Chains A and B, each alone.
Chain A
Amino acid sequence: MSLHEPTTAPDGARASGPEAATSAMLAAEARPPRGRRGRAATGRGKLPWRKAIRRDWQLYTLVLLPLAFFLIFRYLPMAGNVIAFRRFQPGGSIFGEEWVGLRYVEMFLNDPTFWNVFGNTLTIGLVSLLIAFPAPIILALLLNEVRTRYFKRFVQTVSYLPHFLSIVIIAGMLLQLLSLEGTVNQVVRAFGGDAVPFMQRPEWFLTVYVSSEVWQTVGWGTILYLAALTQIDQSLYEAARIDGANRWKQTLHVTLPGIRPTMITLLILNIGTFMAVGFEKILLIYNPLTYPTADVIATYLYRVGLESNNFSYAAAIGMFEALIGLTLILSANAISRRVVGTSLW
């Protein structure tokens, strides 16, 4: 869910899965509506802090530990981003030593490698969005047409499975399947082709990444769509049938509009997080041979920061990426609110 860095995301899950959508909805709900708050203030009157603490001090003590967690492990690192504008010494203050202004920003703007990884991030993010976003919708629609309940349940159960695997396992499977003697090359050979070392070929990386992304996420992604499908009013189908709509037309004019709010919510989230491509997976499956197409902003800043110890430089890149992500999600949300009337907040 974090726009900034998938690696430190508290949920540890893929950024744009159903959890993300749900938490966004929960978050939107969690915010008290403005009007009500105002009324509460005038109506019953807010307790002064002193009285509130005397009454609820036990509740407040419960909150101390989790609050310390948020301050130390979430807010301190946020403040720590100032090292993007300061000289940082390993072992010194986490906020750096002295101001250097925009030096590190200028540095990466003039860094050709940065622009290469920036382009890779856009390509991988965009193609993933185009393919991995519609895939669960299609699967959900197909599942929705299944009449045999057990078969439907079986397909669902199997398709959720990849979601529960460690990314390390997925990377391991990927490397085995795509190795020279792996299954994919067995098929290639069976059709008379020559074995391809997929993981060493930059031109194959995008295909490998996106198809494994679909494999991982397509099943789990159907959950919210299937839930939305059951909410569609059955009388709409009846009316459509009376109007002479066949199955296909019913899908087009009843089913798809019925799940549109879900689609838009997930689309906004996907757009907002598409800069934060699957960093952990890429880190596990790329190698210097595939850097030309596989290296993304997150992996680049990982190498610059943690392998070459240029902390300030990497922090500057990280902030830049976060800013783009924030801009993306805010604009996607604004556009969707204006155009289709659905938005996260």
Chain B
Amino acid sequence: MVTITNDDRPRIRSNRPKRMKDSRGYRVFQVVNGAVLLGVVFVTLYPFLNIIAQSFSGESFIRAGEVNLIPQGFNITTYQLVMGDGMFWRNYGNTVLYTVVATAIAMVLTTTYAYVISKRNIRGRGLLIGIAVFTMFFNGGLIPNYVLISSLGLTNSIWAIVLPNAISVFNLLVMKAFFENLPAELEEAAQIDGLSTYGILLRIVLPLSKAVIATMVLFYAVTFWNSWFQAFLYLNQQELFPVTIYLRNLIAGASTASSLGSGSGDLAQVASNIKAVTMVLTVLPILCVYPFIQRYFVSGVMLGSVKG
């Protein structure tokens, strides 16, 4: 029953001549474990591979239920069809625009607030922190938010997308923690040299914070790139939609992409194809940068929990 296993410390039992082998049970476990994890990888990746296969397949094969991992009836006409749709590119451009503007606004607001609350000796610091942290636990809720945005007249404008979620308190606290760990002497020296607070922030603090700024930009950009609900609530003109809403309308069947049907009347017949291609094209930028940005996200998430 009791098995003594040993991997990295061969000298614990010195009466044994060599590095002790794992018990047979543990070796079996290792193999099973590897298989299970490969299964996890497969299940995680399968939906992507399936969508990619569908995007290159003929619609008749999809409808016959024959497409899983390998494209059937290989063609790229669906790509040509979707990429030929002006509205798709228009909406794609909107996503880029919203992401850039929203991230810029978010970065300005988050950085300035985080910088101020990172100052330990400023009067009212506790209050400022409290104002931000409180919103993590309490939120106005859907209806009051909707009423507010409408009465501010932001409906059908870019501001309804880029303003209401401009500060993520999580990001704010990560930045604050980073600023707090910068050496205070540098700022003091700069102050003695006659730099104003703004000068210190712009010329001393920000250049030292490139790492955290890059991480925050990524955090915000991915969130805004993926967001759809704000646009769904507050935009009702097709030219303003981000690509997520374009896609949402495709999958919800309430297709507004009339140009794709191009009068053929069999939009339903090409739908699976088109959905797959639209999904692939929407997710492509994320997939391309993902391998490079993933570790920033992981380190960002763990920044705050190191002490815990």
- Say whether A146 faces chain B, with CB atoms less than 8 Å apart: yes
Q: Are B44 and A182 in contact (CB under 8 A)?
A: no
Residues from chain A with a CB closer than 8 A to the CB of B307 are 25, 29
Q: Are B136 and A1 in contact (CB under 8 A)?
A: yes
Q: Are A78 and B144 in contact (CB under 8 A)?
A: yes
Q: Are B201 and A62 in contact (CB under 8 A)?
A: yes
Q: Are B131 and A67 in contact (CB under 8 A)?
A: yes
- Say whether A202 faces chain B, with CB atoms less than 8 Å apart: no
Residues from chain B with a CB closer than 8 A to the CB of A280 are 228-229
For residue B1, which residue of chain A has the nearest CB?
A246
CA–CA, A8 to B20, complex, Å? Answer: 56
Q: Which of A191-237 contact B (CB under 8 A)?
A: 195, 215, 218-219, 223-224, 227
B 113-138 binary contact with A (CB < 8 Å = 1; else 0): 10110010011111011111101111
Q: Are A4 and B141 in contact (CB under 8 A)?
A: yes
B 131-167 binary contact with A (CB < 8 Å = 1; else 0): 1110111111111111110011000000000011111
| Secondary structure dominating the interface of B | helix
- Say whether B282 faces chain A, with CB atoms less than 8 Å apart: yes
CA–CA, A299 to B67, complex, Å? Answer: 34
Most A C-beta atoms less than 10 A away, residue of B144, B163, B201, B222? B144
Q: Are A78 and B139 in contact (CB under 8 A)?
A: yes
- Say whether A168 faces chain B, with CB atoms less than 8 Å apart: yes
Q: Are B40 and A80 in contact (CB under 8 A)?
A: no
CA–CA, A165 to B248, complex, Å? Answer: 14
How many residues of A sit at the interface, in one of the four size bands?
A: 35 or more
CA–CA, A91 to B130, complex, Å? Answer: 33
CA–CA, A143 to B37, complex, Å? Answer: 8
- Say whether A254 faces chain B, with CB atoms less than 8 Å apart: no
Residues from chain B with a CB closer than 8 A to the CB of A20 are 170
Q: Are A77 and B141 in contact (CB under 8 A)?
A: yes
Q: Are A76 and B148 in contact (CB under 8 A)?
A: yes
Residues from chain B with a CB closer than 8 A to the CB of A180 are 65
Q: Which of A1-49 contact B (CB under 8 A)?
A: 1-5, 7-13, 18-27, 29-32, 37, 46-47, 49
Q: Are A159 and B142 in contact (CB under 8 A)?
A: no
CA–CA, A304 to B146, complex, Å? Answer: 13
CA–CA, A19 to B136, complex, Å? Answer: 12
CA–CA, A223 to B304, complex, Å? Answer: 13
With A26-B174, A58-B198, A81-B144 already in contact, the answer to whether A3 and B247 are too (CB < 8 A) is no
How many residues of B sit at the interface, in one of the four size bands?
A: 35 or more
Among the stretches A107-115, A126-134, A313-321, the one at the interface with B is A313-321
CA–CA, A1 to B43, complex, Å? Answer: 28
- Say whether B94 faces chain A, with CB atoms less than 8 Å apart: no
- Say whether A150 faces chain B, with CB atoms less than 8 Å apart: no
Q: Which of B66-108 contact A (CB under 8 A)?
A: 66, 68, 108
Residues of A near any B CB (own CB < 8 A): 1-5, 7-13, 18-27, 29-32, 37, 46-47, 49, 52-53, 56, 58-60, 62-63, 65-67, 69-70, 72-81, 83, 88, 91, 94, 139, 142-143, 145-147, 151, 154-155, 157-162, 164-169, 171-177, 179-183, 185-186, 189, 195, 215, 218-219, 223-224, 227, 238, 241-242, 244-247, 261-262, 265, 280, 283-284, 298, 301-302, 305-306, 311, 314-315, 318-319, 322, 326, 329
